[in-house]
A and B are shown apart, each in its own frame.
Chain A
Amino acid sequence: MPLSNDERDELRATARALLGRESSPEQVRATVADAPGYDRALWDHMVELGWTSMHVAEEHGGAGCGYGDLAVVAHELGRAITPSPFLASAALATGALALADNERLAGELLASLATGESVGSVALAATDGSYDQARLTTGWQSSGGSVRLDGASAFVLDADLADVLVVAARDQDGVVAALAVDRSAPGVRVDRTATVDETRRVFTVSFDDVDVDADRMLCEPGSRASELLDEVLAIGVIVVACDATGAAEQALEHATEYAKTREQFGKPIGSFQAVKHHCADMAIAVEASRAATRGAMDDLDGDAESWLTTAAITSSYVGPACSDACARALLVHGGIGFTWEHGSHLYLKRVKLDEVLFGTPSWHRRRLADAVFPALVAS
Chain B
Amino acid sequence: MWQSPDTLVSPIMFEPGGPLEELRDGVREWCAAHVPKDWREQQRGATHQELVEFMEWWGAQLREAGLLAPHWPKEWGGGFSVREQVVIAEELARGDGPRNGLYHVGVFNVAPTLVHSGTQEQRERYLPAIWGGEVWCQGYSEPNAGSDLAGLQTRAVRDGENYVVNGQKVWTSWAKEADRCMLLARTDPDVPKHKGISCLIVDMHAPGIEVRPIRQAWGPADFNEVFFDDVIVPVDNLIGPENRGWAVASGTLAAERAVVILEAAERLRCNGIEAAIAEAAATRLEGGEPALEDSAVRELLASCYAEVQVLRRVLNEMIDDILRGADVSGTSSIIKVLYSDLLHRFTRELTALHGVAGQLDGPVLACAGWETGFWMNDYIHSFGWLIGGGTNEILRNVIGERMLGLPR
Instruction: Compute how far the CA of A194 lies from the CA of B330 in the bound complex, rounded to whole angstroms.
Output: 41
Instruction: Report B's interface with A, CB cutoff 8 A.
Output: 274, 277-278, 281, 292, 295, 298-299, 301-303, 305-307, 309-311, 313-314, 316-317, 330-331, 334, 337-338, 393, 395-397, 399-401, 403-408
Give B363 Cβ to nearest chain A Cβ, in Å.
Answer: 27
By secondary structure, the A interface counts as helix
Instruction: Compute how far the CA of A260 lies from the CA of B407 in the bound complex, rounded to whole angstroms.
Output: 7
Q: Say whether B338 contacts A369, CB under 8 Å.
A: no
Q: Say whether B313 contacts A276, CB under 8 Å.
A: no
Chain A interface size band reads: 35 or more
A271-B302 in contact given A284-B399, A366-B295 (Cβ < 8 Å): no
Q: Determine the chain A residues whose CB is within 8 A of the CB of B302 once the complex forms.
A: 312, 316, 365-366, 368-369, 372-373
Say whether A379 faces chain B, with CB atoms less than 8 Å apart.
yes
Q: Say whether B396 contacts A276, CB under 8 Å.
A: yes
Q: Determine the chain B residues whose CB is within 8 A of the CB of A270 once the complex forms.
A: 400, 404, 406-407
Give B210 Cβ to nearest chain A Cβ, in Å.
Answer: 37
Q: Say whether B303 contacts A377, CB under 8 Å.
A: no
Say whether A268 faces chain B, with CB atoms less than 8 Å apart.
yes
Question: Contact mask A53-69 → B, CB, 8 Å, 1/0?
Answer: 00000000000000000
Instruction: Compute how far the CA of A36 lies from the CA of B338 in the bound complex, rounded to whole angstroms.
Output: 42
Give B287 Cβ to nearest chain A Cβ, in Å.
Answer: 19
Q: Which of A277, A294, A318 contacts B317 (CB 8 A)?
A: A294
Q: Say whether B393 contacts A373, CB under 8 Å.
A: no
A365-B334 in contact given A276-B406, A317-B306 (Cβ < 8 Å): no
Instruction: Report A's interface with B, CB cutoff 8 A.
Output: 252, 256, 259-260, 267-268, 270-271, 273, 275-277, 279-281, 283-284, 287-288, 290-292, 294-295, 312-313, 316-318, 361-362, 365-366, 368-369, 372-373, 376-377, 379
Q: Which of B295, B313, B330 contacts A292 (CB 8 A)?
A: B313
Instruction: Compute how far the CA of A279 lies from the CA of B395 in the bound complex, rounded to whole angstroms.
Output: 12
Q: Say whether B406 contacts A288, CB under 8 Å.
A: no
Instruction: Compute how far the CA of A290 lies from the CA of B334 in the bound complex, rounded to whole angstroms.
Output: 13
Cβ contacts A to B, 18 pairs, < 8 Å? A256-B404, A277-B400, A283-B334, A283-B403, A284-B334, A288-B311, A288-B313, A288-B338, A292-B310, A292-B313, A313-B309, A313-B310, A316-B307, A317-B310, A365-B298, A368-B305, A373-B298, A379-B278
Q: Say whether B406 contacts A260, CB under 8 Å.
A: yes
Q: Say whether A284 contacts B298, CB under 8 Å.
A: no
Instruction: Compute how far the CA of A271 lies from the CA of B407 in the bound complex, rounded to whole angstroms.
Output: 5
Give A114 Cβ to nearest chain B Cβ, in Å.
Answer: 30
A295-B313 in contact given A369-B298, A376-B274, A376-B278 (Cβ < 8 Å): yes
Q: Which of B299, B307, B401 contacts A317 (CB 8 A)?
A: B307
Give A288 Cβ to nearest chain B Cβ, in Å.
Answer: 5
A287-B298 in contact given A279-B406, A317-B306 (Cβ < 8 Å): no
Nearest residue in A to B311 (C-beta to C-beta)?
A288
Chain B CB within 10 A, most for which of A273, A280, A312, A372: A280
Give B61 Cβ to nearest chain A Cβ, in Å.
Answer: 25
Q: Determine the chain A residues whose CB is within 8 A of the CB of B334 once the complex forms.
A: 283-284, 287-288
Nearest residue in B to A318 (C-beta to C-beta)?
B310
Q: Say whether A259 contacts B306, CB under 8 Å.
A: no
Q: Which of A268, A275, A288, A377 contacts B278 (CB 8 A)?
A: A377
Instruction: Compute how far the CA of A217 lies from the CA of B406 in the bound complex, rounded to whole angstroms.
Output: 55
Q: Say whether A368 contacts B292, CB under 8 Å.
A: no
Q: Determine the chain B residues whose CB is within 8 A of the CB of A260 once the complex forms.
A: 405-407
Q: Say whether B399 contacts A283, CB under 8 Å.
A: yes
Q: Determine the chain A residues whose CB is within 8 A of the CB of B331 once the complex forms.
A: 287
Q: Say whether B314 contacts A288, CB under 8 Å.
A: yes
Q: Say whether A362 contacts B400, CB under 8 Å.
A: no
Q: Determine the chain A residues whose CB is within 8 A of the CB of B405 once the complex forms.
A: 256, 260
A313-B306 in contact given A259-B406, A267-B407 (Cβ < 8 Å): yes
Instruction: Compute how far the CA of A260 lies from the CA of B301 in the bound complex, rounded to whole angstroms.
Output: 39
Give B111 Cβ to nearest chain A Cβ, in Å.
Answer: 29
Q: Which of A267, A276, A295 contacts B400 (CB 8 A)?
A: A276
A291-B313 in contact given A279-B400, A283-B334 (Cβ < 8 Å): yes
A377-B277 in contact given A260-B407, A280-B404 (Cβ < 8 Å): yes
Q: Which of A267, A365, A376 contacts B303 (CB 8 A)?
A: A365
Instruction: Compute how far the CA of A338 lies from the CA of B338 in the bound complex, rounded to whole angstroms.
Output: 29
